[in-house]
Each structure stands twice: as C-alpha cells, then as structure tokens.
Structure 1
Amino acid sequence: MFNPEILLTLNLNQQLFTDPRRIALLKAIEQTGSLSQAAKQINISYKTAWDAINEINKLAPKPFLTTAIGGKNGGGTKLSAYAVRFIQLYDLLTQLQLNAFKILNDDKVPLDDILKATAKLSLQTSARNQLYGSVKQIKTNNIAGFITVKLSDEQTELKVYITQQSVERLKLSEDKTVLLLIKAPLIELNETSNNNLLVTVEEITTDGQWSEIAFVLPSGIKLYASKLTSEVEQLALAVGKQTILSIHPENIIVATLI
C-alpha cells in the first residue's frame, strides 16, 4: 500500500523556518507554557529549542512567542495568535498533501486542473450535481446578467444567472474554469425556454414516495434529479428512455478558485 510520509519544510530567505520538529516544539510550548518543558516533551535540549525559536522569531514577520514574567499566575511562555494561525495553516497544508496522494490512482481526476483536483481533494457539498466547465461568455449590466459555461465535455453549454457583484468577486473571465452546483430537486423533467438537455435515463432508485433518477448526456456526463415517484410514473420514465430535462439559470451556483 502506498503511504507516503509527508514532511513539510518551509524556508524563508533560504533559511529553515519551520519543519515537523519545529512545529512539534511550538505545539509543546502551547501545551506546557514553558520552553524548557516543551524541549523535554519532544526530547531535545533546551539550547536546541532556544536556537530554533530564536531563528523562527528572526525570520517571522510577526513574533511567535509571548512571555509573561511573574504575576499572579507566575511567568511562562505561550504562542502568539499569529503563531497559532500559522500552525493551523501548516497542519492544513500537510493534510492537503496527504489527500493529494489519495487521488493519484483515480484516473478520472485531472491533475492539470487545480479547481477539479482541489474539489476532489476537499470540497464536499449537498448539491448532487457538480459539473465542471469554462466560462465562454459574460453578459451582465451593473446589476446582474448571465454567463454561458461550456461543460468539460466541450459540447454542453449552460446559461447561468449571476449578479455583477459575484462576477467581480469570483474574478470571472472568459475561459476561466468554474464548478457548477445544482441540487437534484431543482432539475425539471420537462422542456422549458432555458437549458434544455437531451438525456437518457440510466437508473431509477425509489423509496416509494421519492425517486432519484440518474440521467446521462450523450457525452457521458451524468445528472441526477430527485422527484416524487408519482411524477416519475406520470412521465413514464424508465431505464433507457430518452427525455428532455431543463435547469433554470437561477438554480445554478457558480464556484471557482480566485
């Protein structure tokens, strides 16, 4: 089994800033409130610990440690708020690296697209449909408008309603990669004036009252709709049947990496 050991090392000005041992030292300081106790906890000498902290403080843009001298609760050493946030970021980066190797054997995940890879690594949403594509057209006024997104199959296009504020906040531009999120109940099983798609029913799962229908586009992209079983029966949907479904532009959420 492929279990790589991730040892994240950060250098500043070509000098060692942090590595796993220094992070362990910082965490021990936060836990014990003492540099000497922290050094003992991770089995290094006090001088080694002192030198490491001294180097970190010299390189860091903000102090990593705060020291209290005497007082009601006695003296001690603790991490600054900046240092606490830094450790959280370090742990997050380490976890992302570990997660990255989990998708190495999944040939369906393109590693040349940062949005798709990142979404596979860590993004979890309640939207049943997560579609990747690129922006092909933006038509908005000062308030709102629409963008046209061509999906990853390079065939299917969807029109998405969006505010001008969101266009600016997401820094949307033509050819930018985006992720479209659509909840299954919001997919309509009929033809309308917007985003009509020819699909084939691939699978129907039901609990009696509700049914989830898996559709497939001619290109192979899958879409999922959740509807009352009575509606599915009324439309006589069955595996292998072709039909038209539609998605209102206002029911599509756009996500991207800024």
Structure 2
Amino acid sequence: MAHKRDKTPRLGVGGELWITADGRNLGSHARMGLLRAVVEQGSITQAAKAFGISYKAAWDAVDTMNRVAGEPLVERRPGGRGGGSTRLTERGQRLLERYAQVEAVHERFVEMLAREAFDLEQDFSLLKVLNVRTTARNQFLGTVSALRAGAVNDEIELTLPGGMRLVAIVTRGSTEALGLHTRAPVVAMVQAGNVILATGIESMRFSARNQLPGTVLTLTPGSVNTEVLLEVDGGGRLVAVVTQASAEALALAPGLRVTALIKASDVLLAVTV
C-alpha cells in the first residue's frame, strides 16, 4: 500500500548564475571557484589539486575562459627554479570580484522567489518578491503590448496574466526614462481609492479607458469606507475602496457583478532596474 503524504510539499525555486560573453558561456560558480583557487594557490597545478580536478580539466577551463572573454583572465609568469607562477590579470580579478557581488544579489533574489513566488494560494506580486513597499493596493505584473506616442503623453497598453488589458497614460519623458517598448515587462499600480465601481452599465459609456468587469468576493466595512475585493474576469484580483453610502447605494454584496472603472492617468507604471 502506497504511503500517503501528510501534506502537500512546499514548492520552491532554484537557479545558478552564469556569465556569458556575446552569448557564449564564460563561467558559473564552478569556474569562478577555480579562478579563486588560482589566486589562493598561485598555480594552476595547485589550484586543480585544491579544487579536486585534474590539471588538464583545470587548464581547459582556464583556456576556454581566456578565449571567450576576449582577453586573458589568467596569465602565467615565467620564473627561475621554482618554475614560475600563475595569477589573475587585472580584468580577471575585477571579474571575480564582480561575480561575487552579483552572485550575492542573485542568491538573495532566488531566496525571495522561493519564499514568496510559489505560494499558489496568493496572487503573484513582483514588488512583494523584490521587497518593495508601496501604498498602491493593486499591483499587476504585465507586458507592454502596444505603445501609442502622442505630442506630450504616450498611451501604454499592457497585457496582464489571463489576457486582461490595462491602459496607462504617461508623459513622453516617463516613457523614455523607464525604457518602455513593446514586450517590455512592467508593474502597473493603482490606488484602491482610484477604482470606481459601477453596476448595470451595459447601455452606458464612460470616459474611463479601463473598464474591468468582475465579481465581488468580499466586503470589509470600516467606519467611513468599505474595502471591496473583486475577482476580475480573465483572472486577477482588484481592490477598491468606496464610501459606505456608495456601497449601500450599489447594494454591494459577495457574488454581485460589477465593473471597475480606472482612468488611464491613474495607472502608475514601474520597471525593475
């Protein structure tokens, strides 16, 4: 009889940092470790022994790195009776130091992904993974699907997971500063107070560019306002904050069909750098 798991295993993520040069593999943790051993041992022979590999394997790895890098990272220095030594060039030393710095950031990022990204009970938030805090309750990770330039402002259309579309209006300067272009990944943020809810609007027209139909999931009443959580058609959740009077006038309740209206100028965009 097969043993039944007591609980669902926790999902995680892993990854290794690689350096490439014009798309060719320069090295990862193992090769950088070999370079570090060369620094510590002063020769490829001793570095190979310390690293637990053959001299040929060590030399082949060093030779490959030298060729792919376009200039030597490791050089031999002739000597007398001692037979000379091997050391890193200035560029090799800088590369090794930079790799250590980037690898520390990479490990931290993978750790945050493992902790936050694969909890399937929660919506994915890039800002949460990056440990970025913002007052905007609604955060969406999307891709620029269209960019329409204007004389002063640009219209940016985003496609979110599930196919939902969102339009933002930003200045031309912001488009350039953020490096926005089609297929660029971006984070869209909307303050909950800027989400307007409406019902029975099938025969009405609105100036708000973003009209997202959905279903009320929960209501959290406060002393003045009510927080409304929606399940948006096509996937994703949206939070709106409305007054108690508005919640009562709309007869908001779980299961009610509503449309969230968001002006394009109220959509803030952010990119990772």
Q: TM-score range by the shorter chain?
A: 0.5 to 0.7
Q: What code does the residue aligned with 2:115 have?
A: K
TM-score (norm: length of structure 2): 0.58
Partner of 1:162 in structure 2?
Answer: 170
How far apart, CA to CA, are the structure 2 residues paired with 1:118 and 1:133? 10
**8 A Cα contact 1:140 1:163, kept in partner:** no
C-alpha spacing 1:256/1:7, structure 2 compared with 1 (3 Å):
closer
How far apart, CA to CA, are the structure 2 residues paired with 1:163 and 1:7? 38
How far apart, CA to CA, are the structure 2 residues paired with 1:210 and 1:202? 17
**Paired residue for 2:187, among 179, 204, 214?**
179
SS at match of 1:101: helix
Partner of 1:129 in structure 2?
Answer: 138
How far apart, CA to CA, are the structure 1 residues paired with 2:231 and 2:91? 58
**Paired residue for 2:119, among 106, 124, 148?**
106
Partner of 1:150 in structure 2?
Answer: 159
Identity %: 21
1:185 positional shift: 0.5
SS at match of 1:203: strand
**Paired residue for 2:207, among 193, 196, 205?**
193
User: How many residues are aligned here?
Assistant: 197
Q: Deviations over 1:173-205 (max 9, x none)?
A: 112222110110110123632211212111100
Partner of 1:97 in structure 2?
Answer: 110
C-alpha spacing 1:214/1:109, structure 2 compared with 1 (3 Å):
closer
Instruction: Confirm or deny that 1:220 pairs with 2:235.
Output: yes
Q: Give the CA RMSD over aligned residues.
A: 3.9
Instruction: Confirm or deny that 1:139 pairs with 2:148.
Output: yes
How far apart, CA to CA, are the structure 2 residues paired with 1:10 and 1:126? 42
1:12 positional shift: 6.1
**8 A Cα contact 2:188 2:269, kept in partner:** yes
How far apart, CA to CA, are the structure 2 residues paired with 1:182 and 1:104? 21
**8 A Cα contact 1:129 1:223, kept in partner:** yes
Map 1:59-70 to 2 at 5 A. 59-61=92-94
C-alpha spacing 1:108/1:180, structure 2 compared with 1 (3 Å):
farther
**8 A Cα contact 1:132 1:180, kept in partner:** yes
Q: What code does the residue aligned with 1:193 have?
A: S
1:98 positional shift: 2.6
1:93 positional shift: 4.2
1:129 positional shift: 0.6
**8 A Cα contact 2:161 2:235, kept in partner:** no
